[in-house]
Amino acid sequence: MSDKRDMSQNSKDEQLESFRVNDKGKKLTTNQGLKMSEDEFSLKVGERGPTIMEDFHFREKLTHFDHERIPERMVHARGFAAHGEFQLYESMSKYTKAKFLQEPSKKTPVFVRFSTVNGSKGSADTVRDARGFATKFYTEEGNYDLVANNIPVFFIQDGIKFPDLVHSFKPEPDNDIPQASTAHDTFWDFVANNQESAHMIMWIMSDRAIPRSFRMMEGFGVHTFRFVNDKGKAHFVKFHWKPLLGTHSLVWDEAQKLAGVDPDFHRNDLSHAIENGFYPEFELGVQILAEEDEFKLGFDILDATKIWPEEDIPVKIIGKMTLNQNVDNFFAETEQVAFHPGHVVPGIDFTNDPLLQGRLFSYLDTQLIRLGGPNFHELPINRPVVPFHNNQRDGYGRQTINQGKVAYHRNSMWGNTPAPVSEEKGGYKNYQEKVEGRKIRARSESFTDHFSQATLFWNSMSPAEKKHIIDAFSFELGKVDSISVRQQVVDMFANVSLKLAVAVAENIGVRPPKGRGSNITKASPALSQENTIFKAKTRKVAVILTNGFPGPEVKYVLDRFVAVGMVLEIIGENLGVVEGTSGVSYNVDYTFLTADSVLFDAVYMINGSRKSQKFNKDAAYFIDEAFSHYKPIGATHEGRKWLEVNQLIGKPGVVMKDDLKIFADEFIQAVASHRFWNRAV
C-alpha cells in the first residue's frame, strides 16, 4: 500500500512538473509564444492619440487579467451601496447638452457604490487603500456612470499596465499573503521600478487612504473628460464630489483596531446614517478648461497621475447628491451593479488619456465573466429608466422576449428599424477630434514628469499630515523583506522630498538617500484635510453613564448635543435601562464588553460605578485610548475624576466646565474639530 501511494505521488509530481513555469530571466511573449518588443505602452495613433483596437497584445493582456477571478470583482470586491437622487443647482447648458445637467428643478435617481480596491469581499473596511466612489445616474437619455475614486490621480498612465499594478499589490502568489495590504515586497518593487506611481503613493500614504467614513470622503473622476454643448463646442472637464460633512480620516492605530473590532465599520456607518435620517450629501463640482488652453497648465492634462490644482482652475459646484435609501438586497443590487466609464450620455465624451482608453475596454470585458454574459444590463439594478431597442439577441441571462423575425441592420421588413437617431433628436455622436500620427507603442514626452505634483502634495500637508505620511511609509516599508527594494523606494522619494526620504530611511534601516530633493515650493491648500469643513453633525459620541446620575442636568447637556445632530450612544454597566435622579433614564446601548473607543468620535464621561472596579478600570482605559487617538473628551459631575486619574486635565481637546451651558458649547465645538493633533500622547 505504501509503495503504491509513493508511486502515485511520484506520478502526480511528474504530471505537475510539466505545468510548472519559472518566468525569471525569460523573454516576454504573448500567450501564443510571440516575442514582444514592448510591454509598457499600448498601440496608439501618435504619441498622444487614442489606443486602437488593432493592439492584440493589449487586448490579450487585459482580457486575461479581466478573467482571472470569479465570481467577485478582481478589484473593488468589497463594496457597499445606497440609492439616492441628484439635483442640479444651475443649468450647465453652456458647456454640455446632457439633459440631466440642464434643469435645476429635475431630480435624477442615482445608485452609488463605495468600495475598497485591494482586498477581497471578506476583508476589512478600514484598511489603507484607495476607495471607489462609483455613481450610476439613471437619466432620461440612458444610464451615465461616473466611476470615481476618493483619490484624484492613479498609479499608472497607460491601461496596459493595469494588470501589472494589480498583480503587484494583491497577495503575493506563492502564499496568498497579505490580504488587503500593500505592505509587502512585490508592491513596493513595482513602485520603485514604475516611478510614474510617485504622486499616487503620496496620497495612499496620507490620511486620505483611511477615511473616517464613506460620508466624509471626496470623490474624483480621475480622468480628463469632455463636455460638449448643443453647438458642438467642447471643453475639457474633471469631476469632483465634495462631502458636505467635510473630508476626514481615521488615525492608523485606530484603523487597524477597527479592522478587528468592527471590520464592517464603514458599512455600518453608512447604513445607520441613512436609517437614522442623516442622509449623506455630496456636492458635484467640475473643473472646466477651454480646448485652446490644453497646453497651458505646464503638464499634460491627459496624464492620469496629475491633478488640476484648484487654485489654478477652481472647482465650480453645480449640484448636490443625497443618499436616502439603503438597498433591499445586497447581492441583487450592490453585488450585481455593473459600472462602466463607457456608459455615457450625449454631451459627455472621452479624451485620449491612455488609462481611460484602457478602462473603456476593460470594464465591459470584466462584466462578461463576472455577471455571466452580455445581458447584465437586464438586471434590475442596471436597467435604464428608459426602454432599450437594438438587434442584440439571446445569450446567458436574457430576460427580454423579443418579438418578430428581424434582428439585423439594415432591413426592409421592419422599415429599417430599430433606426439610428440623429444628433439633433438626441442621438449620441462622438466628438470629432482630428487624430493623426504613426501607429506607435510609446508615451509622449509630456508624460515623463513623475515627481513635481508628488512634491506639490507633500508641500500642501500640515505638520501632522506629514508625520502621518512618514509613519505610513515606515510601516509599509518596514514590512518589506527586501533591503534592496526598501533602498530603491527611499532613493526614489528623495525626488519628492529629501526630508521625507531621510526620515523614512532612518526608520527602516537603509542608507540615507543621495538625492538633492526637490526645488518645488508650490503648495495647494485644497489638498490638506486641515482646510476642510468641520461639523459636529452625525459625529458619534460615547456617553459613559451609570445609575444615580444627576438626571435633569445630564438631560440638558445631552439634549443640546442631539439638537446639533450628534449621535449619542450610552455605555453602562449592563444592557437595559440606566436610572438617574428625578425620573430621568436612558436605554443602555453598549457595555464595555461590546463597545470600544475606536467606534466613536468622542467620549463624554458623567459618572462611574460605585460597585464595579472592573467597570471603572475599563472606563479609564476607554478614555485613555480615545485620548491617544486625538479625540475630544468631555467630563462633568463625577466623570471629572477620570480626567484626574488619567492626568488629562488641561490637555487640548479635553473639556471640563462647571457651567453646563459653557461645557455643552465647548464640547460641541471640540467634537466638530475632529482631532487635536497638538496633543502630547
Region 460-468: mean pLDDT is 98
Q: How confident is the model at residue 4 (pLDDT cuts 50, 70, 90)?
A: very low
Pairing of strands 281-290, 234-243: antiparallel
Q: What is the dihedral of CA 442, 447, 449, 451, to 10 degrees?
A: -110
Residue 5 has pLDDT above 60, yes or no: no
Distance CA 133, CA 146 (A): 8
Distance CA 532, CA 248 (A): 8
Residue 665 has pLDDT above 90, yes or no: yes
So what's the pLDDT on residue 1? 39
Provide the angle, in degrees to the nearest 10, between the axes of the packed helices 463-478 and 498-508.
40
Distance CA 66, CA 77 (A): 13
Q: ω before 410 within 30° of 0 (cis)? A: yes
Express each pLDDT in 295-330 by its tens digit.
Answer: 999 999 999 999 999 999 999 999 999 999 999 999
Task: Give the containing element (helix H, strand E) for 253.
Answer: helix 252-261
CA dist list (Å): 579 to 377, 554, 606, 610, 642? 55, 12, 13, 14, 21
So what's the pLDDT on residue 10? 56
Asked whether the beta carbons of 383 and 377 are under 8 A apart, the reply is yes
Distance CA 478, CA 8 (A): 44
Residue 6 has pLDDT above 60, yes or no: no
Amino acid at 657: K
User: Which residue is it, cell 503587484?
Assistant: 168
Looking at every residue in the chain, the average pLDDT score rounds to 93
User: Which residue is it, cell 468589497?
Assistant: 78
Q: How confident is the model at residue 2 (pLDDT cuts 50, 70, 90)?
A: very low
Q: How confident is the model at residue 396 (pLDDT cuts 50, 70, 90)?
A: confident
CA dist list (Å): 268 to 126, 213, 262, 438? 12, 10, 9, 53
Structural domains in the chain? 43-172+205-289+316-378 (2.40.180.10), 451-530 (1.20.1370.20), 534-672 (3.40.50.880)
Is pTM, for the whole model, over 0.85?
yes
Catalytic site residue from 57, 76, 377, 450 = 76
DSSP string, 516-584: ---------GGG-GGGS----TT-EEEEE--TTB-HHHHHHHHHHHHHTT-EEEEE-SSSEEEEBGGG-
Region 555-576: mean pLDDT is 97
Residue 468 sits at φ, ψ, to 5 deg, of -65, -40
- Give 104 or 394, the one with higher predicted confidence: 104
Residue 208 sits at φ, ψ, to 5 deg, of -60, -25
Comparing 274-278, 329-333, 394-398, which segment has the lowest mean pLDDT?
394-398
Spell out the residues 6+ positions from residue 434 whose beta carbon is closer than 8 angstroms to its own. Answer: none
Residue 338 has pLDDT above 90, yes or no: yes
Distance CA 561, CA 572 (A): 19
Catalytic site residue from 57, 83, 118, 149 = 149
Within a 13 Å sphere around the CA of 75, how many CA atoms are in the beta-carbon half? 24
Comparing 133-142, 452-461, 638-647, which segment has the lowest mean pLDDT?
638-647
Distance CA 214, CA 270 (A): 7
Region 364-371: mean pLDDT is 90
Residue 394 has pLDDT above 50, yes or no: yes
Spell out the residues 6+ positions from residue 402 whose beta carbon is closer than 8 angstroms to its own. Answer: 393
Q: What is the DSSP letter of 26?
A: P
Q: How long, in residues, is the chain?
A: 681
So what's the pLDDT on residue 492? 97
Comparing 74-78, 308-312, 641-645, which segment has the lowest mean pLDDT?
641-645
Q: What is the DSSP letter of 205?
A: T
So what's the pLDDT on residue 508? 98
Distance CA 320, CA 310 (A): 19
So what's the pLDDT on residue 63? 79
Region 615-628: mean pLDDT is 94
Q: Considering just the CA atoms, what is the radius of gyration of the chain in Å?
A: 28
Region 157-165: mean pLDDT is 96
Residue 680 sits at φ, ψ, to 5 deg, of -85, 125
- How many other β-carbons are positioned within 10 Å of the β-carbon of residue 339? 21
Residue 184 has pLDDT above 70, yes or no: yes
Express each pLDDT in 405-446 by its tens digit.
Answer: 888 888 899 898 888 888 898 899 899 999 999 999 999 999
User: Which residue is it, cell 470594464?
Assistant: 363
- pLDDT more than 90, % of the chain: 78
Asked whether the beta carbons of 634 and 660 are under 8 A apart, the reply is no
Distance CA 110, CA 219 (A): 15
Residue 543 has pLDDT above 80, yes or no: yes
C-alpha angle 578/612/590, rounded to 5°?
A: 45
The dihedral sign for the CA sequence 34, 38, 41, 45:
negative
Asked whether the beta carbons of 631 and 601 are under 8 A apart, the reply is yes
Distance CA 663, CA 358 (A): 56
Comparing 402-411, 626-635, 663-672, which segment has the lowest mean pLDDT?
402-411
So what's the pLDDT on residue 14? 64
Distance CA 667, CA 557 (A): 10
So what's the pLDDT on residue 390? 85
Asked whether the beta carbons of 636 and 660 are under 8 A apart, the reply is yes
Q: Is 76 a catalytic residue?
A: yes
Express each pLDDT in 11-57 by its tens digit.
Answer: 545 655 665 667 788 787 777 777 778 888 999 999 999 998 888 88
DSSP string, 627-653: HHTT--EEE-GGGHHHHHHTT-TT-TT
Comparing 61-65, 161-165, 176-180, which segment has the lowest mean pLDDT?
61-65
Residue 9 has pLDDT above 50, yes or no: no
CA dist list (Å): 521 to 206, 453, 469? 19, 11, 18
Q: How confident is the model at residue 680 (pLDDT cuts 50, 70, 90)?
A: low
Distance CA 291, CA 285 (A): 19
